[in-house]
Amino acid sequence: MNENNTNIKQPISIPMLALRGMVIFPGMILHFDVGRKKSIVAMNEAMKINQSIFLVAQKDIREDDPTPENLYRIGTIATIKQILHLPGEGIRVLVEGVSRASIVDVSQEEPYYIATVQECEIKQASLKDIKSEALIRKAQELVGEFSEIGPKLPQDIFTSILASDNSGSLADFIASNILLKVEDKQAILEVLNANKRLELVLNVLEREINILALENEISEKVR
């Protein structure tokens, strides 16, 4: 769960793919299906260059062909690890998030998006930062509480959370593996200060725990 170096790089021009109902974080590996023709072309073009693609969530999941205005400004530069062709025209891709980046300009919309993006400057907390350590401990505590009253989490997720010593990476990991709402994930992706990002995750986790507790209470009353 190590976050990337914070050195500022020059803006780059890169194929862009709009994600529907999904947010991808740096350091995370996951697979998803791609069905839109524009997105498939973007993936194939990215594979021809250096396997890098900019993944950004769309604001309205009902939009089948979102315009640049319908996309969030901050997304994730990712590396395409694998593409599998599915029956029909769809594909399944495996990607690894590399770094946060913001859209500077969209230079092409057809037959696929090309965007100029700038890597975001991340403000990391020191490993000896007391506030960072306190936030990490609180996050570990809340994740345990969440798993007790809500859906049980896999042991490997617990192990990764307990082993973390980086507030920013831990925030990303929890957001990617536990939180469900796209709006929450996008809000966390957009926070560049590591400690403030984990603080936001704590707020969301506490809200979810309160909702789960209330749901359980209602269920008991119904019984």
pTM of whole model > 0.95? no
CATH code, 72: 2.30.130.40
Half-sphere exposure of 53 (CA within 13 A, CB side): 28
What is the count of structural domains for the chain? Answer: 2
Q: So what's the pLDDT on residue 104? A: 97
Asked, for residue 125, whether it belongs to a domain, the answer is no
Task: Give the chain's residues under pLDDT 70.
Answer: 1-8, 127
- CA-nearest of 59, 159, 168, 143 to 103 is 59
Render pLDDT for 117-167 as a digit per residue (tens, 0 to 9). Answer: 999 998 887 767 899 999 999 999 999 999 998 888 899 999 999 999 999
106 and 137 in one domain? no
Residue ranges of alpha helices (H) inside 120-193 are 130-149, 155-163, 167-177, 182-189
79 and 31 in one domain? yes
115 and 29 in one domain? yes
Asked, for residue 4, whether it belongs to a domain, the answer is no
Q: So what's the pLDDT on residue 6? A: 44
Structural domain for 151, as ranges: 130-222
Q: So what's the pLDDT on residue 2? A: 47
- Of 119, 148, 177, the last residue of a domain is 119
215 and 144 in one domain? yes
